[in-house]
Structure 1
Amino acid sequence: MHTQIPVTRSGRSVKVASVAGLALLAGLLSGGGSAADESPGPLGLTTSCGTEGGAGAAVPATVALSVDVPDSGEVDRPVQPGPVSFALTLSRADLAGLLPEGAETVVSRAALKVKVAQDGESAEASWELNAPSTLLPADGDVTLVHSGEVPYVTFGSAGEVDFSVGEFTVELRSATAAPEQSAPALTTVTCRLKEGESGHLATTHVTEAGGNEPTGTPGAPTAPAGGTAGAEGKDITVEPPVAEEEDPDFCPVGPPTGELDPSEAPPPPPGDPVRVIELPGVYMCAYALGLANVQKLNGAMIINDPADPALISVMSTKRSTVRTVREKGGVYTRFDSLANLDLPDAESTFLTFGFQPVTAKVSFENGPITISIGNIGSGTEKLTFSTVYFQQSLRLHDVKVNGTPLDVGGNCRTTKPFKVVLNGGDAYKNVAIGGVLEGEVDIPPFTGCGTGGEDLNPLFTASLSGPGNRIFMNQASTCNPASPTRSYCPPPLPELPGTKPST
């Protein structure tokens, strides 16, 4: 289901759009460029939870809510919070008073009411988060760790925007019901913040397009065409969802194939049992441009020529992995996305041995790409990570030495695939927003180079193979054809890394 709820005032709007399946995520993490994580760790809240109708007294509960919200954004461009980790902890004794007698295992669904406020106006985003089957211990505390869909937000005017959470409800259901059955809730509890708790999550500074600050003084609000002014001259219009229509072929690449391999992402530290949730993912596409340095030749080549670039096909957030890390506090949360990128050939000229110009085309043979983002720990010890991993082989062809063709044969390639591991640090926000990733690869020796009995393997191995070869990739925001607003469709081209002037 797609929903879009714009709140319009004075010709400006705040839109909250939820894309089904854009699980929590989108994925993915650490503050990048103008987008940064405002809070140093999970937000800790004290709440009081009870069943509607007053069956039993309200019981205390604690919440650890971790979410990355960009600290800046632009008018009419989506701001994507995520990923989210929502851990609700109650004592086993208190939980027993809320559940039917004999309940031993539950699954739960949390529905958070998140207020998005700007200039006295607000909209409510519903964050629906799910926790997998949880075995209830005989005593002690019970922690239910949830994940789920995260709405993105688009703002029609510049200014400060506040994100805050108010009350939330949690449905507890039997974990023994068959997946195709819609088991009735064993109980539904409503939790409200303790008096004095603000529930503040983050503040986003929204500027006009291009990062410009608004100019002039805002005038008196007026009613939009067809609207009715309120008592103070303001008009708030809630519009229906965008009508469905046939999608243009914004992503003319097939969904990615292959298996996830998050082996290069930071593993979960010791803690509670790891909970893995397989998700359907959301199909998207994007452009990524890059540079690859060849250490021995002191040169670089362009990856994915901007003149005719290839698209990355992405199935965003196919798996979530969660573990409560009790001894350090906080939660380990990781979201894995699958991608494919069939790169066009790259052509470049280097001065081999410092003086001989050699031109060659390079074919890249990439395996399935795993994009992992997540959080570890909390507070000042909190670590955010974004890792891209795949295997790659190189093949050389159309080689010319000082303008003269050199026949290297049709199978001049690296002896084996090699690892490509790229990290985003603070420059890669998530799959939806993109950002800069970088890493270093070790190019293996070459084989199959030469014809007619001529062995050119030593030449290319000596010129190209070895460690210390840096790769820089800049991924633009992804196009999601299923989104009601189809933001970033068709997919935009990013800046080539290193070409944007520093300010």
Structure 2
Amino acid sequence: MHTQIPAARAGRSVKVASVAGLALLAGLLSGGGSAADESPGPVSLAAACGTEDSDAAAVAATVALSVDVPDTGEVDRPVQPGPVSFALTLSRADLAGLLPQGAEAVVSRAALKVKVDQNGESAVASWELNAPSTSLPADGDVTLVHTGEVPYVTFGSAGDVDFSVGEFTVELRSATAAPEESAPALATVTCRLKEGENGHVATTHVTAAGGSEPSGSPETPAVPAGGGAGARDKGITVEPAAADEEDPDFCPVEPPTGDVDASEAPQPPPGAPVKVTELPGVFMCANAVGLANVQKLNGAMIINDLDAPALISVMSSKRIANRKASEAGGLYTRIDSLANLKLPDAESTFLTFGFQPVTAKVTFENGPMTISIGSINPGTGKVDFSRVYFRQSLRLHDVKVNGTPLDVGNNCRTATPFKVVLDGGDSYKNVAIGGLLEGEVDIPPFTGCGTGGEDLNPLFTASLSGPGNRVFMNQASTCIPTNPTRSYCPPPPAELPGTKPAT
């Protein structure tokens, strides 16, 4: 059973939306394209940096910027750049002139203005990246290595696309101060590329839907000089936030709680150690609906309320696991996100033993979800994966047999929680875009069923328990309420698996 992946928001334009933390790892696929097997080498750039409130001359800095951008993409399908590593190096003496006396360690945030050019049109994407605490030595050079948020881009026309970086700012804060948003920065440094640096970062080629090439040369500008009727049809726009209204509560669910558990994700091949980085994550939400097949009853029940679905709550990019392709064992990259989904009760009718109609409500008790996305390249080829893992219990209540209530008590449930492992295959690219996930679960025996000394456990165990029960979940694109562009907010609906043919 397959379903169509929810398409990106329609529109013949480039749309830039912040997708927090989804570009920290090498080898992630984007919609409509695939990344190279190994990360390209960093782009080295020379810049001059200074503070606005200083009369001192700008100081020299070097930049090493690495980013994977898919070789190809499709019109109206998101292209996800990533991973991003932005290393800024300054001399300790120059940095001392920018910071208050006595600073011993800093944390920093870099804001890059990345220009996206296609067919004579352009848009600016903001890449906000963060560096952990960095100690300041007595002398020598200081390198601040930033990773973090990066936009995805959706193109409304075919043609070659160029990504380039120009001006960027770096905000320096004390690493020993309390982590408060209102705490003042020690310094805000503005950097501009030196003359002769073009800032080119990466190139991708966008084709028409289905991978076909457009008629004519892709270098031909899509918008005639001076504009004209329909000139914006294929232009590049950045969706701005409305400045005159308060942010609505697009995600009316609590941030997820629990611990990340990536034990069911593909593990790295033997080799060099994998670097694991814990992150605070970025809050987002999405719609997700699905079907759960019960093998013994040859039936299925709908997961989530189609009219008023519960939202899945996600804290994106809580943990990063990474090993370089050049290290022993080959490339291993993984992003772990934490999620919670509190589902409403499902009500279904089955023909027990092939003839007896039984209606029951099912309560899904889900544990914390871990969404793992990444790539493996042990040297023999690249394998990309998306895996969702959580534990679940089922509780039955409001049972009726041929219309007659059957008192099963208040604690008729699976004897133990069971594993739910869902695989995204080629459909689920990342947590921001979503897609179809499917897997197979083994329902444990039931316990606690029956009242007044009547033991109904064997009835439900014989009717429901056992292996081979297929689960299909379809997640739509996530809404990021803190994203100023508000793309995919409020969260768009998700298609019920199987309601549309595969494309």
- The interval holding the TM-score normalised by the smaller chain is 0.7 to 0.9
Per the TM alignment, residue 475 of structure 1 is displaced from its structure 2 partner at its CA by: 0.6
Question: What does residue 278 of structure 1 align with?
Answer: 280
Q: What residue identity is the alignment partner of 1:84?
A: P
Question: What does residue 497 of structure 1 align with?
Answer: 497
User: Residue 371 of structure 1 aligns to a residue in which SS?
Assistant: strand
Deviation digits for residues 222-251 of structure 1 (CA, Å, limit 9, x no counterpart): 6479xxx9xxxx999999763241455544
Shift of the 425–297 alpha-carbon distance from structure 1 to 2, 3 Å rule, reads same
Describe how 1:9-20 pairs up with structure 2 within 5 A: 14-16=14-16, 19=18
Q: What residue identity is the alignment partner of 1:467?
A: P
Q: What residue identity is the alignment partner of 1:43?
A: P
RMSD of equivalent CA atoms? 4.8
Instruction: Give the one of 33, 38, 43 matched to 2:40.
Output: 43
CA contact (8 A) 1:30 1:386 kept: no
Per the TM alignment, residue 290 of structure 1 is displaced from its structure 2 partner at its CA by: 0.9
Describe how 1:89-488 pairs up with structure 2 within 5 A: 107=107, 109-134=109-134, 145-153=145-153, 155=155, 157-160=156-159, 162-166=161-165, 176-178=175-177, 179=179, 180=183, 182-184=185-187, 199-205=201-207, 220=224, 223=227, 242-247=242-247, 250-251=250-251, 253-264=252-263, 265-266=265-266, 270-271=272-273, 273-279=275-281, 281-282=282-283, 284-306=284-306, 308-317=307-316, 319-325=318-324, 327-328=327-328, 333-376=333-376, 381-488=381-488
Shift of the 114–89 alpha-carbon distance from structure 1 to 2, 3 Å rule, reads closer
CA contact (8 A) 1:85 1:145 kept: no
CA contact (8 A) 2:272 2:329 kept: no
CA contact (8 A) 1:318 1:335 kept: yes
Q: What residue identity is the alignment partner of 2:38?
A: G
Per the TM alignment, residue 287 of structure 1 is displaced from its structure 2 partner at its CA by: 1.6
Q: What residue identity is the alignment partner of 1:449?
A: C
Shift of the 236–289 alpha-carbon distance from structure 1 to 2, 3 Å rule, reads closer
Please tell me whether residue 23 in structure 1 is matched to residue 26 in structure 2: no
Deviation digits for residues 364-393 of structure 1 (CA, Å, limit 9, x no counterpart): 122233333334559865444333222211
Task: State the identity %.
Answer: 57
CA contact (8 A) 1:48 1:193 kept: no
CA contact (8 A) 1:287 1:312 kept: yes
User: Residue 440 of structure 1 aligns to a residue in which SS?
Assistant: strand
User: Residue 460 of structure 1 aligns to a residue in which SS?
Assistant: helix
Per the TM alignment, residue 449 of structure 1 is displaced from its structure 2 partner at its CA by: 1.0
Shift of the 16–244 alpha-carbon distance from structure 1 to 2, 3 Å rule, reads farther
Per the TM alignment, residue 440 of structure 1 is displaced from its structure 2 partner at its CA by: 2.2
Give the aligned length: 467
Question: What does residue 73 of structure 2 align with?
Answer: 71
Query: What TM-score comes out, normalization by structure 1 length?
Result: 0.73
Q: Counterparts of 1:238 and 1:292 in 2: how far apart (Å)?
A: 39
Q: Counterparts of 2:137 and 2:380 in 1: how far apart (Å)?
A: 31
Q: Counterparts of 1:412 and 1:26 in 2: how far apart (Å)?
A: 44
Per the TM alignment, residue 103 of structure 1 is displaced from its structure 2 partner at its CA by: 10
Q: Counterparts of 1:150 and 1:285 in 2: how far apart (Å)?
A: 18
Shift of the 42–491 alpha-carbon distance from structure 1 to 2, 3 Å rule, reads same
Higher mean C-alpha displacement, 113-122 vs 144-153: 144-153
Per the TM alignment, residue 331 of structure 1 is displaced from its structure 2 partner at its CA by: 6.5
Q: Counterparts of 2:225 and 2:379 in 1: how far apart (Å)?
A: 42
CA contact (8 A) 2:112 2:126 kept: yes
User: Residue 433 of structure 1 aligns to a residue in which SS?
Assistant: coil
User: Residue 462 of structure 1 aligns to a residue in which SS?
Assistant: helix
Q: Counterparts of 1:128 and 1:248 in 2: how far apart (Å)?
A: 23
Q: What residue identity is the alignment partner of 2:185?
A: S
Shift of the 188–382 alpha-carbon distance from structure 1 to 2, 3 Å rule, reads farther
Per the TM alignment, residue 25 of structure 1 is displaced from its structure 2 partner at its CA by: 2.3
User: Residue 71 of structure 1 aligns to a residue in which SS?
Assistant: strand
Query: What TM-score comes out, normalization by structure 2 length?
Result: 0.73
Q: Counterparts of 2:278 and 2:415 in 1: how far apart (Å)?
A: 36
Shift of the 278–494 alpha-carbon distance from structure 1 to 2, 3 Å rule, reads closer
CA contact (8 A) 2:436 2:474 kept: yes
Q: What residue identity is the alignment partner of 1:498?
A: G
Per the TM alignment, residue 291 of structure 1 is displaced from its structure 2 partner at its CA by: 1.4
Per the TM alignment, residue 456 of structure 1 is displaced from its structure 2 partner at its CA by: 1.1
Per the TM alignment, residue 454 of structure 1 is displaced from its structure 2 partner at its CA by: 1.5
Q: Counterparts of 2:46 and 2:382 in 1: how far apart (Å)?
A: 28
CA contact (8 A) 1:371 1:388 kept: yes
Per the TM alignment, residue 99 of structure 1 is displaced from its structure 2 partner at its CA by: 6.4
Question: What does residue 6 of structure 1 align with?
Answer: none
Deviation digits for residues 73-132 of structure 1 (CA, Å, limit 9, x no counterpart): 42xx8x362553316598xxx977976699996655555453322222122323232222
Shift of the 168–465 alpha-carbon distance from structure 1 to 2, 3 Å rule, reads farther
CA contact (8 A) 1:317 1:336 kept: yes
Gaps of 5+ in 2: 1-10, 50-56
Question: What does residue 8 of structure 2 align with?
Answer: none
CA contact (8 A) 1:40 1:378 kept: no
CA contact (8 A) 2:346 2:363 kept: yes
Question: What does residue 84 of structure 2 align with?
Answer: 85
Q: What residue identity is the alignment partner of 2:258?
A: E
Deviation digits for residues 305-338 of structure 1 (CA, Å, limit 9, x no counterpart): 42x3422242442624254445248865544433
Shift of the 215–44 alpha-carbon distance from structure 1 to 2, 3 Å rule, reads closer
User: Residue 429 of structure 1 aligns to a residue in which SS?
Assistant: coil
Per the TM alignment, residue 50 of structure 1 is displaced from its structure 2 partner at its CA by: 5.9
Q: Counterparts of 1:334 and 1:235 in 2: how far apart (Å)?
A: 35
User: Residue 430 of structure 1 aligns to a residue in which SS?
Assistant: coil
CA contact (8 A) 2:69 2:202 kept: no
CA contact (8 A) 1:85 1:333 kept: no
Question: What does residue 3 of structure 1 align with?
Answer: none
User: Residue 199 of structure 1 aligns to a residue in which SS?
Assistant: strand
Question: What does residue 6 of structure 2 align with?
Answer: none
Deviation digits for residues 38-91 of structure 1 (CA, Å, limit 9, x no counterpart): 4333222352546557967x87x86542356982242xx8x362553316598x
